Structure 1
Amino acid sequence: MSSAGPTRIRQLNRRAVLSHIRYEGAQSRSALGPALSLSPAAVSSVVNDLLEEKLLCESESTKKDGRKGRPISLLELNADAAYALGIVLRPTKTETELGLAWVDYTGKATAIPDVPVSKHQDIDTLIRCIKAAIEKLEKEVPDAKRIFGVTIAIPGVIEGDTIPMAPKLPCIEGGEFIERLQEVIEYPLSFHNDVNLAAMSELHQQPRLRDLSFAYLYLYTGVGSGLSIEGKILNGWAGEIGQLHVNRNIPNTTSFEHSLTTDGCLADLLESLGHPRQALDELAKYIDQRDPQTLAVIDLYCEHICDAINVLNSVLALDEVLIDFRSDKLFQRLRPRLEVLLQASRRPPVISTPVMGNEATLNGAALSALTEALEVIETN
């Protein structure tokens, strides 16, 4: 046996201490041993190394020793130990913007203003804007030398180093976009589906979801879903319901993307009522006034949502569906109708909303970049 055995064990102990504090919060030295089945000597040795390397720091808060009544110092992650960046591609029918955020070593994300892409469907312009966006984020991060990775949230399917489908941004389909970005960006890059990243963000924010099967249903200018089974996000084509056509009442409807996008029937209704197409909040008052035209469109829209949920539920037996909708005010009117319609299902899931709202994907992208860099950060 070489010294690789003890070295590996020490690395695992380091990761265990850091992971425990990451998920359980600030901890005392005396609590780490029983929690991780480590001896006091092992805890002391590992903690001293992590403090010296500035991955851990002494917390300003303390807690009382129940037996002696004296304060006990706590250990917490050092927020400045490492940083990671997240970028979200946000296309609509007419424009594309980049959502930007950076995250510190504790997982706290900070968003900065979106960046518009001057040419909506031009791959050269998009790559140039992403490079400029990273440079902008570097100026926001307290120490750019400690940036360990970047995650790009893609509005489409990722397979290895290719993007086989991106309906709202077809210029990135294929392998050229990823290949060219990897050539011009110096940081480790990863690419993930945008709705999957939103689901990952909710797992981070709501630990209760780790024991459930849930779907994150995204209803904006695009339509998609992220799926999680007991804390594990399903990748690839899982959840890509946008191109499916399942509706018992309107057989000619092309897809869920066509029937559920907020750029579609809801925008058409707003236009017919004399409002801007994106002003979804305005529909709430028409629902409250029981306007027949509005109620007819809303009822059919709710049926489409329930059809999408039933498709997912029939395969995964969902405990919960988190619906990320473009207008909170309008969704408050949709939710009771959805719950009534779903009662016809054999096992209706609970309907809820994401705690991160429309920042879930951006938060998830930055967290993903940090998570993928943790082994390098914590063992190097």
Structure 2
Amino acid sequence: MARPPARTPSTLRTPNAKAILEALARRGPLTRAQLMHQTGLSRGAVAPSLRSLESRDLIVSAGTASPSGEHAAKGPAAMRVALNPRLGFAVAVHLDHHDAHVALVDATGAVRAEAHAPLSAAYDRLDVITALIEECTGGVAPLHAAVVAAPGIVTRDGEIRDDSGPDGGAFRAALAERVGCPVRIENDVSLAALAELAGELGTQHSSFALLLLDGGLGAAFVLDGVLRRGASGMAGEVQYLPQTPLPLGAPVVGEVVTADLASGVGRDPSLPLLAHLEAAATGDPAAHSMISEIARRLTVVAGTVSLVIDPGIFVLAGLAAHPVMFDAIQHAAQAWEERLPLRFTTSAFGREAPLVGAVHEATVELQAALFSPDDRKH
């Protein structure tokens, strides 16, 4: 992979050039007429800015556009320009308890390379992530930003709090030193919610709650178009919400709960939840009984959340979006319909939602680094 062209800060400080770059990042390839419409700049302002950007390899030719489109230039065809995809790169990282997945992102938001590897107690996750990033970049592409989706509580200053306790921001600092760029750590469920907010659902709902079921249960809350993390990053830790008949402090769902429920109905407790869902889909009555109980618990969680923040709609992600689980949750919610109506939909991104959110946020961070370098210094 060739090295991206160097940035020219004096060019990027020009308001007209910045407006053009942001429009190209937002809308993709555009003609001059379309750039004038998107930026509000005159033809006399757009033309010299394009020449300057093109001379520095910040934009490239992107073919011609049909003259029949909205705001298209008159004539047989109009030339389009686009961001140079080699302008700069960022990485998105998704960590869970078993795997690490890395995606290399360019300034247009396109994923240029991906790599993944298993995680185990025998390997340092920093070593695994660094190796995956080097695999994606070829070791030569400079990075401007990294966004990491991680399980556990993540504080505003990037400290991860998991089963090993708080890390004091050590993981973020160590990764930033290795990759040579700023690193942002976010809770994986929060990034899944940001993916939905940036997608079609976000255009229809400014407030929603996302429930992600995988190894455990996590939630994220978007209210009035803003992700709400809470004062210490604990917003969304619904795994231990009290509910009858569970004892206080008992997990609502999770691997241990799945194993216990499986044992109670005579199914193999070593099987993962996905295997039980697939068995229920084929009509296995024991598996169906298990899923019904898990769905009941998830519905109680949704009802509790709804009474507190009234999100309007719940987005089910991970295994909660499995068709069998979704139907079971819908059925359980019918019992509450008259007293507390609950609306559910499934994630547009399935189990990839945290990575999709990390890719989107990495693109935002990259564009901010490239288009507003001075602003980020203050």
TM-score greater than 0.5 by the shorter chain: yes
Q: TM-score if structure 1 supplies the norm length?
A: 0.80
| Residue 193 of structure 2: aligned partner | 199
Q: Quick one: which of 301, 304, 321 aligns to 2:297?
A: 304
Task: Kindly state the Cα deviation for residue 195 of structure 1 after the two structures are TM-superposed.
Answer: 1.2
| Residue 364 of structure 1: aligned partner | 357
Q: Quick one: which of 348, 366, 373 aligns to 1:373?
A: 366
Q: Take 2:235 and 2:335, find their aligned partners in 1: how far apart are those partners?
A: 22
What is the letter of the counterpart of residue 126 of structure 2? I
Q: Pairwise mapping of residues 164-203 of structure 1 onto structure 2 (< 5 A)? A: 165-167=161-163, 170=164, 173-203=167-197
| Residue 99 of structure 1: aligned partner | 101
Contact kept, 8 Å, 2:277 with 2:291, in 1: the verdict is no
Q: Pairwise mapping of residues 132-171 of structure 1 onto structure 2 (< 5 A)? A: 132-139=131-138, 144-161=140-157, 163=159, 165-167=161-163, 170=164
Change (3 A) 1:110 1:199: farther
Contact kept, 8 Å, 2:296 with 2:329, in 1: the verdict is no
Q: Pairwise mapping of residues 1-380 of structure 1 onto structure 2 (< 5 A)? A: 11-65=14-68, 70-91=76-97, 96-109=98-111, 112-119=114-121, 125-139=124-138, 144-161=140-157, 163=159, 165-167=161-163, 170=164, 173-206=167-200, 208-209=202-203, 211-236=205-230, 237=233, 239-247=235-243, 249-252=244-247, 254-255=249-250, 258-261=251-254, 263-270=255-262, 272-274=266-268, 276-278=270-272, 280-286=274-280, 289=283, 291=285, 293-326=286-319, 328-341=322-335, 343-344=337-338, 346=340, 348-349=342-343, 351-379=344-372
Contact kept, 8 Å, 2:195 with 2:354, in 1: the verdict is yes
Contact kept, 8 Å, 1:15 with 1:378, in 2: the verdict is yes
Change (3 A) 1:325 1:10: closer
Secondary structure in structure 1 of the residue aligned to 2:355: helix
The gaps in structure 2 that reach 5 residues or longer are 1-9, 374-378
The gaps in structure 1 that reach 5 residues or longer are 1-6
Contact kept, 8 Å, 2:152 with 2:161, in 1: the verdict is yes
Cα deviation per residue 1:322-367 (whole Å; 9 max; x = unaligned)? 2113273533542432552452454533x22222221221232233
Higher helix share: 1
Q: TM-score if structure 2 supplies the norm length?
A: 0.80
What is the letter of the counterpart of residue 91 of structure 2? L
Q: What percentage of residue pairs aligned between the two structures are identical? A: 21
CA RMSD of superposed structures (Å): 3.2
Secondary structure in structure 2 of the residue aligned to 1:144: coil
